[in-house]
Structure 1
């Protein structure tokens, strides 16, 4: 302690009068809180203590006199605090000098300093105690949490000592194994042994535990009831500070539901989620095995590729939920129509396959194909909708058509497209010639896509003539494509565009060209009275896709935007659609026609008389013309039936206040008959073949002359 801490004012000489010391004390008392003086000789020898009270009571004494008569002996600094307090009681003093073992002065101790030290020590002890209590409470709470987690966890826990005697288990252990806590304590894990593992298995487990301190894996154990079950077990060795094993802690979980989940995931990985049939992956695996077995046994097999006809229309009109239910019913019918050892698979969408071992009998394959087609010729009642579907089946055989699964699948797929080409609801065996045609079709599709990108499509105009006056009243725009200088039939490439989804792009490109050229014709060849009309074909697929997506405004806006772009008046534009497209009941299609009609565009029904007409629907739409199909015009001179049909169409058109245009007029005799019937307009080679723009200009110039 410092002198100030001891209450010492100063070190004084022994000859100082107390009154002077006391006076000095009073001068500094307010600032130093001094209560005692330490007295040394001039040589620095310690003489003793003089208190404030002594200085006040004996003002005329000198320090030396007081010290010699009233000085208590000093206390050794090694004496305990309580002994020092006892000395102060015995000597009736409040202060004692403190010396070291050699008798050298080291300081002063007072009752106040001792009490202060004790209070501070008690305060420190109290703080330490509070920290200990807080740590204890935390540890106690952690133990409670650990105990709660130990009991609440869904995994079983078993703790054994180093000799594998069970010391502790939780409720999940009892629930999983059937052994109650009291029954398990003191036992060894041997009570769980199933007998399904040999000694080598357990040796490997314990070797791993000794080397790494942990083991994890699947193990078969036995419940108390005797049931054997799979268990996922994780064991950890718990060591003391010396590295010795004190406990083994095992965490176990019943893997039965995990195995069920794995089986479920395995099934989903190899089976179609909707129908439950084998999916593409499992199908390819089974096809590979079937080919290998047939090759090994010198046998044959057949692969049938099934594609539903018209299924997309079900999805478009009734929604995917109805379509999914239909697929499930079809999957069940296909499975019931084949033998037990045959494989029915769903590749995706509305495509199914059948793998069948047929020996060398082609008749057997035909029987299966016909049975499948017959099975699907079935009325399906789904959510109140009566649905009818058919299928096209392509067939490839091993080893005749191919010797690998990939080749067989490709060939069956090609054969299926050949079946669709000759008429839906049929089967077709793979043939090299058909494959070549399919390859040509694929190549042509790619070439058509490129032609659209590079704007290679052109149009030709075929004039339409008023049959009463012989004057030109309109032009019919016909798409043309001539890759490498060789013309491709419009029926071929337009159908191809419809099948490959390119029809919207093709239709928009034709409309762009036709609108630009029609505007130029109007500017170059003005005429008094009624202007020329310009007929532009619109594919049913364009209309159906817009009706399906209910994007009617987009289709109409696109067409009107193109006409505006080229400055072509809408009242000279005539859109030609087949009667099937016009009379379709798809939601949204009527809105398309109405929007275009309100804009002034006229609608002509193309190929009229070849389909199933719906006059009530035609009457409600902005239809202005009916086009008599060329198949009816061709045999007018020789076929009375065609004449009767043509007469009926023209009569009906007049009743509906519609004009009739006859297509394919090639002879004067045909034209005379049509005039007699009252036909309004004709087009055909009798008047002009379809002309490109350069030739059309010359032709129109001659007509003007």
Structure 2
């Protein structure tokens, strides 16, 4: 039973991602030795999220089970259909004569999905989109074949869903052209559309490359090195190319991994726990820190925190909790508990959405490690951010009343002097824990505020 669960999805009992990867590797080896082609079909259910959100997860789960059965009915015994996570499935078609064999399977699947699914008292209509890549024409390795099948899937979504597309090299060019045409769109509108259309994977690749290159440029210009955090969606995080994309971005930019952080949501932990754990361990070995975003808004299971505590470095408290922070508010106890729990698990804690001096004051009292929010700065372009890095510090943007109500508290043992100009000096450490030491001297530069 344990062996079965290791290689099969617990809900649909289809082969899982691990089994898929093993079968894909074996099919690649056989194809190279025999000279026969094989096809990879990437499937995504159109508007599944709407059904899941409106009718509930129980109905959604039953629908996924029915989808799995319907897919299995359309393939040969020698083929493999696997659930990759969420509403995504893949089909491997070994030893095909030509491209038509793959397109016929895709057609059968799409046509079969025109029939309704009967789940409890509901008659549900759902369609599917498919992307096809062929070995060896569209890739010589697993990663390339998956990436190209995903590009074809995105094209199918772009053309109105409920169809299949065969990968062509021009698809990658069309994808990046769209990035430039969309312009500035709010994240809460842009990201769901990107996930629904399949654009999220190539978009994420572009973001990783751009962020790593920009951070390296700042370092090369002499600015203080800092880590930059990238948001990664559940779909992107569970994609086969995520590790390759991150390594490629770091390699191309020559950025040290300690200056890149990856942010995931609670939902990502629940999609496919085994795959998530594997990816987290790999990222941790690369020296990349992981941040868990919007904590408290989703499932917030303590068992998940315990399981992933060695791979998650930062816990971010959702802004919905921070907005309710007030003096003598009983809700503050919840925040304090989250902070203490995370710190006990050796995680740093970040409070999101800090906008008032009162919130900052309470969070300091609760010993929160870090804060982020409009109290310090709104999102700004890279050039302005470089100026902030050069300055070195951020001062809370408080009005006069807030400054009087929450004055700066100097908790240092020695008086602090704010310098108007940089000061160059020589320093040596002569004593640590009442023990005399000799370390020599070093030059230090104190930056002006």
The two structures have a TM-score, normalised by structure 1, of 0.34
Shift of 1:616: 3.3
Residue 425 of structure 2 aligns with which residue?
A: none
> 1:436-461 deviations in whole A, cap 9, x for unaligned?
xxxxx98999xxx998422746xxxx
Aligned pair in 2 of structure 1 residues 321, 455: CA closer, same or farther (>3 Å)?
closer
CA separation of 1:454 and 1:320: change in aligned 2, threshold 3 A: same
1:350 to partner: Cα distance: 5.0
Give per-residue Cα distances to partners, 1:131-151, cap 9 Å, x unaligned: xxxxxxxxxxxxxxxxxxxxx
Contact 1:308 1:351 in 2 (8 A): no
Aligned equivalent of 2:376, options 680, 683, 687: 687
Match of 2:177 in 1: 454
Which structure has the highest strand share of the two? Answer: 1
Query: Counterparts of 2:69 and 2:250 in 1: how far apart (Å)?
Result: 40
Q: Does the alignment pair 1:598 with 2:285?
A: yes
Q: 2:219 aligns with which of 518, 522, 527?
A: 522
| 1:382-418 Cα shifts (integer Å, max 9, x gaps) | xxxxxxxxx7679xxxxxxxxxxxxxxxxxxxxxxxx
The residue correspondences of 1:37-56 to structure 2 (distance < 5 A) are: none
Separation of aligned partners in 2, 1:312 and 1:581: 17
1:637 paired with 2:326, answer yes
Aligned match for 2:68, one of 320, 330, 342? 320
How do 1:464-479 residues align onto structure 2 when only pairs under 5 Å count?
Answer: none
The partner residue of 1:581 within 249, 268, 286 is: 268
Q: 2:389 aligned with 1:700, yes or no?
A: yes
Picking from 296, 299, 303, the partner of 1:616 is 303
Q: Label 1:556 to 1:567 Cα distance change in 2 as closer, same or farther (>3 A).
A: same
Shift in Å, 1:586:
4.2
1:51-62 to 2 correspondences below 5 Å: none
Instruction: Give the SS at the match of 1:623.
Output: coil
Give yes or no for the alignment of 1:561 onto 2:248. yes
Q: Deviations over 1:86-130 (max 9, x none)?
A: xxxxxxxxxxxxxxxxxxxxxxxxxxxxxxxxxxxxxxxxxxxxx
Residue in structure 2 matched with residue 494 of structure 1 by the alignment: 191
Q: For residues 392 and 655 of structure 1, do their structure 2 counterparts lie closer, same or farther at Cα, with a shift above 3 Å needed?
A: farther
The separation in 2 between residues aligned to 1:657 and 1:497, in whole angstroms, is: 34
* Kept in 1: contact 2:354–2:375 (CA 8 A): yes
Aligned equivalents of 2:119, 2:174: Cα separation in 1: 39
Specify whether residues 636 and 490 from structure 1 end up closer, same or farther in structure 2 by C-alpha distance, changes over 3 A only.
same
CA distance in 2, matches of 1:612, 1:649: 14
Tell me the distance in 2 between the aligned counterparts of 1:699 and 1:482.
28
2:323 & 2:204 partners in 1: Cα distance?
28
Deviations 1:366-393 (A, max 9, x none): xxxxxx88614xxxxxxxxxxxxxx767
- Alignment of 1:537 onto 2:231: yes
* TM superposition shift of 1:557: 2.0
Partner of residue 666, structure 1: 355
Alpha-carbon contact 1:578-1:607 (below 8 Å) kept:
yes
Contact 1:317 1:586 in 2 (8 A): no
Structure 1 unpaired stretches of 5+: 1-304, 326-345, 355-371, 377-390, 395-440, 458-480
- Indicate if the aligned counterparts of 2:315 and 2:349 stay in contact, CA closer than 8 A: yes
Alignment partners' CA distance in 1, 2:387 and 2:301: 41
Radius of gyration: which is bigger? 1
CA contact (8 A) 1:583 1:614 kept: no
Change (3 A) 1:525 1:688: farther
Q: 1:647 Cα deviation (Å)? A: 1.7
Contact persistence 1:519–1:568 (CA under 8 A):
yes
Mapped contact 2:352–2:372 kept (Cα < 8 A): yes
CA distance in 2, matches of 1:443, 1:488: 21
Partner of 1:505: 202
Contact 1:609 1:628 in 2 (8 A): yes
Residue 324 of structure 1: how far off its partner (Å):
5.9
For 2:21, the equivalent position in structure 1 comes to none
Partner SS, residue 653 of structure 1: helix
Q: How big is the shift at 1:317?
A: 8.8
TM alignment of 1:133-282, pairs within 5 A: none
1: distance between equivalents of 2:68 and 2:328? 47
Relative distance call for 1:316 and 1:669 in structure 2 (3 A) is same
Q: Residues 629 and 488 (structure 1 numbering): CA distance in 2 closer, same or farther, change over 3 Å?
A: same
Higher relative contact order (CA 8 A, sep 6+): 2
Of 641, 646, 649 in structure 1, the residue corresponding to residue 335 of structure 2 is 646
Aligned to 1:150: none
Corresponding residue number in structure 1 for 2:105: none
The Cα offsets for residues 565-589 of structure 1, whole Å up to 9 and x where unpaired, read as: 1011111211000012124444422
Distance 1:322 1:353 in 2: 11
- Looking at structure 1, the residues matched to 331 and 114 of structure 2 have their Cα atoms a distance apart, in angstroms, of 41
SS at match of 1:454: helix
Aligned to 1:375: 121
Instruction: State whether residues 576 and 604 of structure 1, in contact with CA within 8 Å, keep that contact through their aligned partners in structure 2.
Output: yes
Q: Shift of residue 700 of structure 1? A: 2.3
Aligned partner of residue 627 in structure 1, secondary structure = strand
Taking the aligned partners of 2:179 and 2:291, their CA distance within structure 1 comes to: 27
Q: Distance in 2 between matches of 1:488 and 1:520?
A: 26
Cα distance in 1 between the residues matched to 2:257 and 2:345: 23
Q: CA deviation at 1:617?
A: 3.2
Structure 1 318/537 Cα, relative in aligned 2: closer, same or farther at 3 Å? farther
Evaluate the alpha carbon distance shift between residue 450 and residue 557 of structure 1 in structure 2; reply closer, same or farther with a 3 A threshold: closer
Structure-2-length-normalised TM-score: 0.51
Counterparts of 1:702 and 1:323, CA distance in 2: 58
CA deviations on 1:208-241 (whole Å, 9 max, x unpaired) are xxxxxxxxxxxxxxxxxxxxxxxxxxxxxxxxxx
Correspondences of 1:275-294 after superposition (within 5 Å): none
